[in-house]
Structure 1
């Protein structure tokens, strides 16, 4: 039986208030797990490049993505992730205030694993984030970082 590894999460969201709420809501979950943030697609790609060049840093094995990004279209970012073998199997949760059918369909077409609407109400927002945290940190198993293509 394999041991459960900590989850290295990358939150990509330009809204600093939403990021703060996300981090606050995940506080109990981040004791054993690491959460990093990026405010744009370009910043997220730079973060990944730094992980690749520094053996002491791990690439994220879970991404939470808002699709309302500056500098780079979110679909382009997902395409870059999809083209990089290091992202094979890494779950992407789209967590956004956008509720257009086209965006939902495009998210799944670009291999997102879930599309979750950000609630407008602060308490409901926190509840949704805690539910996501429980699922991804306690229930689901994300791909191991040391063997990204392990088929066992």
Structure 2
């Protein structure tokens, strides 16, 4: 058994973990950055503010040609241009991208949103707390679970 102090502080290859946060609310972006900055896991947090930008980033298209392939995507549902449901469905239907874990992080507690997210193969569904301290606690719990307990798929081209 691994002692908590022996938990990795980066990916298995010693590199920081690349996280794509897809979020259009600047306040939530700021709180997420703050939570990850104070966390134990070394990471690179990239931000896309709408669904079209998120897909371009993940597909490494256009201005994102040199973007790293994310180890994990944190996805809001309520986004401009292309909503989170559409982004999730496209990611999970693409053979080259479907192994990237996608965690829905949204303010919606609606049962239909939860069901639809899992039908589109979300790896988890988290509801954003309204209170900023509770929000930061949620992100820290997420970080501990996803980067210290869960084994992420290898990053890179699946060829």
- Is the pair's TM-score, using the shorter chain for normalization, greater than 0.5? yes
- Mark the runs of 5 or more structure 1 residues left unpaired by the alignment: none
1:1-152 mapped onto 2 (5 Å cutoff)? 4-5=12-13, 6-29=16-39, 32-50=42-60, 53-54=65-66, 57-146=67-156, 148=158
CA contact (8 A) 2:106 2:128 kept: yes
CA RMSD of aligned residues (A): 2.0
Query: Residue 26 of structure 1: SS of its match in structure 2?
Result: helix
Cα distance in 2, alignment partners of residues 30 and 76 from structure 1:
32
Cα separation, 1, equivalents of 2:34 and 2:84 = 25
- Note the alpha carbon deviations across 1:99-149, whole angstroms, 9 max, x for none: 100000000000001111100111111111111011112221111113648
CA contact (8 A) 1:7 1:142 kept: no
| Structure 2 Cα separation of the partners of residues 101 and 76 of structure 1 | 17
Quote the offset at 1:23 in angstroms: 0.7
Q: Which deviations, in whole Å up to 9, do the C-alpha atoms of 1:13-55 show, x marking residues without a partner?
A: 110100110010011448622210100001111222336843x
Q: Which is further off, 45-54 or 67-76?
A: 45-54
Contact residue 88 and residue 148 of structure 1 kept, 8 A:
no
Unaligned ranges ≥5, structure 2:
1-10
Corresponding pairs, count: 145
